């Protein structure tokens, strides 16, 4: 700022000095021209005495240092006293004036300081008679310039002092205060305080710093919590799996190998928002399970791109580092055409394989064009995967779900050194049911290309082995649950998937809170829905024909018929997320569910109560969690389900150790959560009675049942699921990839 002020002062002073010089020049020439009118007749008549009086009269004016009149010969005929001493013999200065008649205007240095000379010729009709010269003292211009500089320097000094003072105050109050609070916060954090960001106001300048420091604090807090949890586990000789334990385990098991995960759903979707691009994490237990593994080994996750801004965030190879706020692994996106999406996902996967594997009385639809799309998309993903692991030795590949049944064989044929596993998240039906599929042999052959095939429960493993035994030429090794096909062994194992459980800190907070809070929160939730009720049930499902939503609604109707005392007292809140809306059977199911809920409500509802509240939109886990925590019961009525994580999410959320789980025997979760009320969803009477039992169960029995289920979910959490799969997969021996001899490589390169 001082430099800028000095530059401005310099140009300002220079401009004003130039203005003063120009003003002096104009004044001098104007005066000289007016005097020529009096001097020309006198010099023509050689009235030198009159000329002298004229010169002396003019010399008394302000700032005139001297005046002289010269004859045509250059001789001074009149001059003010002392002029020669002031400017010397100046006859030579007027040569041009006398010879050519030019006006002379210049600044020069005299004996006593700077002067300005204005010289103008004296004429008559016959020619040049002489010249008139006026000398003005120009020293005042330098004095004014010095004064301007002095004022400018004083102004610059004052400005500098003010700017420095304001800057110091801004730093002290605007920066120093927030930095002091941040310092205190970091010190408290280092000493074991909470990882909540300090309040440093709304200054935009601090936002990047606050964000990064908050992330650092959160990481530190998580690391400390993981260390404390690990110490507690060692102290109590427990073996609970945590994200930190999974990370360390994976690093040790993988060694130098890298992990490549393949799924249809991507872990991060990018979307446009005002001012830029944001991202979201799809609600999926798969992300919770696989992310710690991929972060631990800097792996690569290959998935279909589904976000509207996904293309804008990837590099030229379709890759983007994730998570966006703290990149630790690579997401490789694959784009499908609308035709591929229709045939692969909506067609063969969800109109064919999904109903085929779920024995829910919905006929599967198989079309040759859908099968062709399914094969092409599997081949497309295989090519992407092979490109990604081109330079990797002994890679580990973990494929997810029924979308990629053909992928294991393609990968294993190209990379026999890779360890390949596929986890089938949906049930596997019996051999007779699976035989409906026209391409069952191709699907089985593709799956048996894997080294490891995983299901949720042993029954699905048995069905798979029986199907392979019946459909393919293979040898089933029942003693080790493996399939030997053409010399390649595929292990078949159950890995019950689960959910992430709360940290010990969350459980401590839960122990100390008011247990009356759930009842108060339940009333608030129902009030927002326009309902007043004493009891609340919760159902959370995709609107899918395998979830038994219509059967659940009819059980509520039957319950209110048989036990009228619960009318105006019990409400079922059904959160039903729309799913696969481009498939007609799903559209029809949504219409049926809405109509059934409306029919039952019309039959029983009052002004401030209705038995079923159907929320048919997408809900985040954060939106669902209050319902889990406050409901009297959770209804899971799957007609056929691989696991159903809603049951485990409900149990994990009940830190008050209350609530009752009513669970279908046809959900995989029923094999683990034996303390739930196990029901047959096709038996309306049994479900209605289970609902009554849940509402009237003794609080102590509810607590004991929930304690036992929570212990199971806590022990068999999502990290244990991922760890068990990785342990089984990494124990498999694969052929060692031997480099080709140098001579052969050279020949091939030339070829």
- Its CATH class, for the domain covering 525-716, is alpha beta
What percentage of the chain has pLDDT greater than the value 70? 87
Kindly state the average pLDDT of the residues 163-175.
Answer: 80
pLDDT in tens, 194-246: 555 666 655 666 667 667 777 777 777 666 666 666 655 554 445 688 888 88
pLDDT, position 112: 75
CA distance 77 to 370: 120
Confidence tier at 329 by pLDDT (50, 70, 90): very high
Kindly state the average pLDDT of the residues 588-616.
Answer: 95
pLDDT, position 204: 62
Check whether 746 has a pLDDT greater than 60. Answer: no
Check whether 28 has a pLDDT greater than 90. Answer: no
Check whether 743 has a pLDDT greater than 60. Answer: no
Q: Which two three-digit tokens encode residue 130?
A: 């002489």
Q: Which two three-digit tokens encode residue 370?
A: 């859908």
φ, ψ at 137 (rounded to 5°): -75, 120
pLDDT, position 192: 61
Nearest in space to 271 (alpha carbons), one of 280, 263, 262: 280
Check whether 402 has a pLDDT greater than 70. Answer: yes
pLDDT, position 622: 87
> How do beta strands 612-615 and 570-577 pair?
parallel
CA distance 404 to 375: 9
Check whether 600 has a pLDDT greater than 60. Answer: yes
Give the chain's mean pLDDT: 86
Burial of 161 (0-12, 13-18, 19+ CB in 10 A): exposed
User: Regarding predicted confidence, which is higher, 360 or 732?
Assistant: 732
- Of the candidate ranges 165-179, 257-271, 413-427, 512-526, the one whose mean pLDDT is the lowest: 512-526
Q: Which residues are CB-neighbours of 165 under 8 A, at least 6 positions away? A: none
Name the residue ranges covered by the structural domains of the chain. Answer: 2-144, 209-235, 243-494, 525-716
Check whether 32 has a pLDDT greater than 90. Answer: no
Q: Is the dihedral of CA 53, 56, 62, 64 positive or negative?
A: positive
- Of the candidate ranges 27-41, 280-294, 667-681, the one whose mean pLDDT is the lowest: 280-294
pLDDT, position 436: 93
- Of the candidate ranges 271-285, 329-343, 375-389, the one whose mean pLDDT is the lowest: 271-285
What one-character DSSP code corresponds to residue 637?
-
pLDDT, position 285: 65
Burial of 301 (0-12, 13-18, 19+ CB in 10 A): buried
* pTM of model > 0.85: no
Q: What is the largest CA-CA distance in the chain?
A: 146
Confidence tier at 491 by pLDDT (50, 70, 90): very high
User: Regarding predicted confidence, which is higher, 32 or 333?
Assistant: 333
Tell me the CA distances in angstroms from 592 to 352, 543, 617, one per residue in order.
22, 11, 16
CATH superfamily of 243-494: Glycogen Phosphorylase B; (3.40.50.2000)
CA distance 462 to 431: 10
Burial of 668 (0-12, 13-18, 19+ CB in 10 A): buried
pLDDT, position 197: 60
Q: Which two three-digit tokens encode residue 46?
A: 């050689």
Tell me the CA distances in angstroms from 153 to 7, 8, 118, 196, one per residue in order.
11, 11, 34, 50
Q: Is the dihedral of CA 464, 469, 475, 479 positive or negative?
A: positive
pLDDT, position 747: 34
CA distance 35 to 32: 5
Kindly state the average pLDDT of the residues 25-53.
Answer: 85
- Note whether 243-494 and 525-716 share their fold: yes
Q: Give residue for tokens 């009477």.
A: 685
Q: Which two three-digit tokens encode residue 322?
A: 């994730």
> In this structure, are residues 560 and 566 in contact, taking their beta carbons and an 8 Å threshold?
yes
Check whether 528 has a pLDDT greater than 50. Answer: yes
User: Regarding predicted confidence, which is higher, 471 or 4?
Assistant: 471
User: Regarding predicted confidence, which is higher, 162 or 572?
Assistant: 572
Confidence tier at 459 by pLDDT (50, 70, 90): very high
Check whether 154 has a pLDDT greater than 70. Answer: yes
CA distance 55 to 42: 12
Confidence tier at 407 by pLDDT (50, 70, 90): very high
- Of the candidate ranges 384-388, 605-609, 618-622, the one whose mean pLDDT is the lowest: 618-622
pLDDT, position 70: 83
φ, ψ at 736 (rounded to 5°): -80, 130
Check whether 515 has a pLDDT greater than 90. Answer: no
Check whether 648 has a pLDDT greater than 90. Answer: yes
CA distance 113 to 618: 92
pLDDT, position 497: 92
pLDDT in tens, 253-309: 888 789 999 999 999 999 998 988 999 887 666 787 788 888 888 899 999 999 999
CA distance 58 to 95: 24
**CATH topology assigned to domain 2-144:** Beta-Lactamase (3.30.450)
pLDDT, position 711: 94
Residues paired with 540 in a beta bridge: 575
Tell me the CA distances in angstroms from 401 to 407, 422, 689, one per residue in order.
11, 7, 36
- Of the candidate ranges 28-42, 464-478, 513-527, the one whose mean pLDDT is the lowest: 513-527
CA distance 300 to 294: 7
CA distance 392 to 669: 38
Exposure class string for 200-214: b at 16+ Cβ within 10 A, else e: beeeeebeeebeebe
Kindly state the average pLDDT of the residues 672-684.
Answer: 96
pLDDT, position 635: 96
Q: What is the 3-state secondary structure (H, E, C) of 249-304?
A: HHHHHHCCCCEEEEECCCCCEEEEECCEEEEECCCCHHHHHHHHHHHHHCCEEEEE
């Amino acid at each position: 700022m001082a430099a800028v002020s000095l530059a401005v002062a310099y140009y300002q002073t220079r401009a004003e000095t130039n203005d003063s010089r120009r003003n002096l020049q104009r004044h001098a020439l104007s005066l000289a021209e007016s005097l020529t009118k009096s001097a020309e007749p006198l010099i023509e008549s050689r009235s030198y005495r009159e000329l002298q009086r004229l010169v002396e009269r003019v010399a008394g004016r302000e700032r005139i240092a001297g005046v002289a009149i010269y004859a045509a010969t250059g001789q001074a005929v009149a001059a003010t006293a002392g002029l020669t001493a002031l400017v010397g013999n100046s006859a030579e200065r007027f040569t041009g004036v006398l010879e050519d008649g030019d006006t002379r205007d210049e600044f020069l240095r005299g004996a006593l300081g700077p002067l300005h000379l204005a010289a103008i010729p004296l004429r008559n009709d016959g020619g040049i008679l002489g010249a008139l010269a006026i000398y003005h003292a120009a020293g005042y211009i330098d004095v004014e310039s010095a004064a301007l500089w002095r004022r400018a320097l004083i102004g610059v000094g004052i400005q500098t002092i003010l700017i420095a003072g304001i800057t110091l105050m801004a730093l002290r109050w605007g920066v120093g205060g927030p930095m002091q609070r941040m310092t205190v916060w970091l010190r408290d954090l280092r000493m074991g305080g909470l990882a909540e960001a300090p309040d440093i106001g709304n200054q935009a300048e601090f936002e990047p710093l606050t964000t990064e420091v908050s992330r650092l604090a959160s990481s530190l807090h998580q690391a400390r919590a993981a260390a404390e949890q690990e110490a507690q586990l060692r102290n109590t000789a427990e073996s609970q799996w945590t994200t930190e334990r999974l990370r360390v385990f994976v690093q040790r098991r993988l060694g130098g190998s890298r992990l490549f995960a393949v799924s249809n759903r991507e872990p991060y979707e990018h979307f446009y928002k005002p001012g830029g691009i944001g991202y979201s994490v799809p609600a999926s237990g798969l992300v919770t399970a696989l992310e710690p593994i991929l972060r631990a080994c800097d792996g690569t996750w290959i998935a279909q791109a589904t976000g509207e801004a996904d293309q804008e965030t990837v590099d030229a190879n379709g890759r983007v580092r994730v998570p966006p706020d703290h990149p630790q692994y690579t997401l490789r996106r694959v784009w499908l055409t609308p035709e591929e999406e229709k045939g692969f996902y909506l067609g063969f996967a969800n109109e064919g394989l999904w109903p085929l594997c779920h024995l829910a009385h919905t006929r599967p639809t198989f079309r040759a064009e859908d099968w062709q799309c399914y094969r092409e998309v599997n081949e497309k993903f295989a090519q992407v995967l092979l490109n990604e692991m081109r330079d990797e030795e002994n890679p580990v590949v973990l494929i997810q779900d029924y979308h990629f049944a053909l992928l294991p064989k393609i990968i294993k044929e190209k990379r026999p050194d890779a360890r390949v596993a596929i986890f089938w998240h949906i049930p596997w039906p019996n051999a007779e049911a699976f035989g409906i599929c026209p391409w069952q042999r191709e699907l089985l052959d593709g799956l048996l290309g894997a080294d490891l095939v995983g299901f949720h429960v042993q029954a699905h493993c048995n069905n798979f082995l029986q199907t392979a035994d019946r459909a393919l030429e293979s040898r089933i090794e029942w003693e080790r649950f493996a399939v030997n096909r053409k010399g390649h062994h595929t292990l078949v194992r159950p890995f019950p998937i689960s959910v992430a459980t709360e940290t010990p800190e969350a459980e401590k907070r839960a122990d100390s809170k008011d247990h009356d809070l759930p009842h108060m929160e339940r009333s608030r939730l129902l009030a927002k829905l326009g309902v007043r009720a004493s009891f609340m049930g919760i159902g959370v499902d995709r609107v899918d024909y395998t979830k038994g939503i219509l059967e659940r609604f009819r059980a509520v109707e039957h319950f209110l018929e048989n036990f009228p005392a619960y009318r105006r007292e019990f409400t079922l809140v059904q959160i039903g997320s729309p799913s696969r809306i481009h498939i007609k059977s799903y559209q029809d199911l949504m219409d049926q569910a809405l109509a059934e809920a409306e029919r039952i409500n019309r039959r029983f509802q009052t002004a401030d109560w209705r038995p079923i509240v159907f929320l048919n939109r997408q809900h985040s886990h954060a939106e669902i969690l209050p319902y889990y925590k406050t409901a009297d019961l959770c209804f899971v009525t799957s007609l056929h389900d691989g696991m159903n994580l809603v049951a485990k999410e409900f149990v994990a959320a009940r830190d008050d150790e209350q609530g009752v789980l009513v669970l279908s025997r046809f959900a995989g979760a029923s094999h683990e959560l034996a303390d739930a009320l196990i029901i047959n969803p096709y038996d309306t009477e049994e479900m209605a009675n289970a609902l009554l039992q849940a509402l009237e169960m003794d609080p102590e029995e509810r607590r004991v049942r929930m304690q036992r289920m929570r212990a199971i979910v806590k022990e068999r959490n999502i990290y244990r699921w991922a760890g068990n799969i990785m342990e089984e997969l990494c124990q498999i021996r694969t052929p060692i990839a031997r480099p080709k001899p140098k001579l052969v490589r050279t020949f091939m390169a030339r070829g």
